[in-house]
Structure 1
Amino acid sequence: MEFTKMHGLGNDFIVVAGEQALPDNAAELAIRLCHRFFGIGADGLVYILPSEKADFRMRIINSDGSEAEQCGNAIRCVAKYVHDNGLASGTKLTIETLGAGVQPVVLQVEDGQVAQVTVDMGRPILNGLDVPTTIDANPVIGHSVEVDGREFKFTAVSMGNPHCVIYVDDVAGFDLAAWGPKLETHPLFPRKINVEFATVHSRGQVDMRVWERGAGPTLACGTGACATLVSSALNGLTDREATISLAGGDLRIRWDETSDRVYMTGPAAVVYAGTVDA
């Protein structure tokens, strides 16, 4: 199987193009190939497939074999891959995802290569039962969740996949590994959840760290950055456009007041290409 190793701000993927459908053994392949010591190593396995609705279709299998509905960093990698490999021309294209449907993408091209990608991430889902959580409220802001005797307040947002955003005083020093997995699997979240811990520094800048459902700690999460901006605006902590700083770098997120749509801008990069037994 030919593959390209790519990343968006350190959130890394094994990208495969040329298949007509998701292989039956995709989950097994993801577990094996994404292993950091016995495989290629990645947060997920991404397939670029034909679409009847868009220019391309993206399917993402997490490193634990589960399927993600959406991934903001992966969609930027897919956009760069199809352009830079001559599968798409121009600076606009559409990519279909499981959780967000058809997503328009705009490419910033420098010297024939994609440098930045802006993705229409769609409208945030704020109704608690639709995120999903077990909370019948719209929106879910400042709701309490208790784990191991510690109470957290969270805001729930879906960007095609579920997120809970929690504000802490110092996210850089926060013990992500201790609390992330316990919140991911809490009964309040029937399909598990991505957990973002955030520290707001100004109305235009937020530091965020993420525990991703099905992957654990990653250096960046595009949908998580979008959810963090939406949550921060809802809580009156930031404007509707801000820089979300992740461990792997910055994303620019804008929640348009007129259309209610969220736009994400950031880079994607190729690490190397190769072949692997599949």
Structure 2
Amino acid sequence: MLIDLIKCHGSNNDFLLIDESDRNYKFDDFKRRDLALALCDRENSLGADGILFIRPSKVADAQYRIFNSDGTEASMCGNGLRCAGRYVCEKLGVDEAVIETMKANLKVRKHEEVFSGIPTYQVEISPVTFDLNDLPLNLDQDTLIQERIPALSEELTFTALAVPNPHLTAVVSKDQLDSDLQTELSEKLNQPNDLFPDGVNVSFIRLLEKGSIFVRTFERGVGYTNACGTAMSASTLVTCLMNENEYEQPIDVYNNGGMVQCAVHKEGETFTIDLIGNATFVYSAQIDIDFNADGILTEILEQEDFNEDLQYEKLQEHAKKYLSRF
């Protein structure tokens, strides 16, 4: 079977994008899982954090589903949505579109460049909920907003929310960020445990200056990635709840893969978040896939670079230079 794909990334959170709407691939979820396991393998295949499957939608301009590198399906991915949004907009010849995701139909639109020469898209991150049943998080309370969980840590204060992926966040010092604390917590909460039966994304947030934060995330189903869009959005919201940043204002969010912007909107008790950042296409490729009893055999038949990564490296250098001040 011949498959066309695009390697792409948002903040170096990288994906393989496969458009099912133009080709009758006849994938079922078992094949999508197997493709993710095989093609995302960085040692033996193309390598990626996940696969974005673009599909027809009856309620939006397109549907997108994302399968992580471990074969599990995620309900949403902000960095992936920017890439999917760019693909759909360019395919339809429009500047904005609505994308159907697992839990909501979300708006995407082309945005002014976040950095010179960088294709930039804005995506809506919602719904947002603090109800612990929605994560789920097993505690004898309804919400967890800037509170301690003694069973996890005596030194950290946590906020739990779903956007719609489940996130556990903590604002930390430089020493805490540089320690093994996040790894220990993340691995504990993404193995069988009583608190988060389905696992959780764990983010450490460092306040830099007004309007700027750094976020590092251990993603459920993936591990550490260069960036996580929903985590950066959730983390920005947490800093607004703490009065460290302002609602309605774009916040610079730095990560190991570069930088994005997030703006939190509040109407009553309802929150939505705009995630603004790069949607970089690395290369297009055609591969030959053979599904068989022994696994998946792949052969790359052709590959063509988009040459967009050279400009993105300049954004990365800008981010590194800024972070060196802290």
Relative to the length of structure 2, the TM-score reads 0.77
In percent, how many aligned pairs have the same letter?
30
Relative to the length of structure 1, the TM-score reads 0.90
Q: Which runs of 5+ in 1 are unaligned?
A: none
Q: Which residue of 2 aligns with 1:173?
A: 178
Residue correspondence of structure 1 range 254-265 to structure 2 within 5 A: 254-258=263-267, 260-265=271-276
Q: Which whole-Å deviations, capped at 9, do the CAs of 1:23-62 have from their partners, x for residues lacking one? A: 3311111011100101110000110001111100010000
Task: After TM superposition, give the deviation of residue 89 of structure 1 in Å.
Answer: 2.1
Task: Give the CA RMSD over aligned residues.
Answer: 2.2
Which protein has the bigger helix share? 2
Q: Which moved more, 1:61-70 or 1:165-174?
A: 165-174
Instruction: Determine if the alignment matches structure 1 residue 102 to structure 2 residue 105.
Output: yes
Q: Which residue of 1 aligns with 2:92?
A: 88
CA distance, structure 2, for counterparts of residue 227 and residue 149 of structure 1: 21
Task: After TM superposition, give the deviation of residue 145 of structure 1 in Å.
Answer: 3.4
Residue type at the aligned position of 1:261: T
Instruction: Determine if the alignment matches structure 1 residue 30 to structure 2 residue 36.
Output: yes
**In the superposition, relative to structure 1, how do residues 184 and 146 fare at CA in structure 2: closer, same or farther (>3 Å)?**
farther
Q: Which whole-Å deviations, capped at 9, do the CAs of 1:64-114 have from their partners, x for residues lacking one? A: 010000000000001112233xx2122110001113x1001111378xx98
Q: Which residue of 1 aligns with 2:308?
A: none
**In the superposition, relative to structure 1, how do residues 266 and 149 fare at CA in structure 2: closer, same or farther (>3 Å)?**
closer
Q: Which whole-Å deviations, capped at 9, do the CAs of 1:182-239 have from their partners, x for residues lacking one? A: 2334421121100101111223111110000001000011100111011122223322
Which protein has the bigger strand share? 1
CA distance, structure 1, for counterparts of residue 13 and residue 31 of structure 2: 23
Residue number among 179, 186, 189 corresponding to 1:183 in the alignment: 189
Q: Which residue of 2 aligns with 1:198?
A: 205
Residue number among 256, 272, 276 corresponding to 2:283 in the alignment: 272
Q: Which moved more, 1:215-224 or 1:199-208?
A: 199-208
Q: Contact 1:211–1:218 (CA<8 Å) still a contact in 2?
A: yes
Q: Which residue of 2 aligns with 1:122?
A: 126
Residue correspondence of structure 1 range 222-237 to structure 2 within 5 A: 222-237=229-244
Instruction: Determine if the alignment matches structure 1 residue 164 to structure 2 residue 141.
Output: no
Instruction: Determine if the alignment matches structure 1 residue 73 to structure 2 residue 79.
Output: yes
Residue type at the aligned position of 2:261: R
Q: Contact 2:177–2:204 (CA<8 Å) still a contact in 1?
A: no
Say which one has the larger Rg. 2
Q: Which moved more, 1:193-202 or 1:139-148?
A: 139-148
Q: Which moved more, 1:53-62 or 1:236-245?
A: 236-245
SS in 1 for 2:263: strand
CA distance, structure 1, for counterparts of residue 57 and residue 261 of structure 2: 28
**In the superposition, relative to structure 1, how do residues 261 and 43 fare at CA in structure 2: closer, same or farther (>3 Å)?**
same
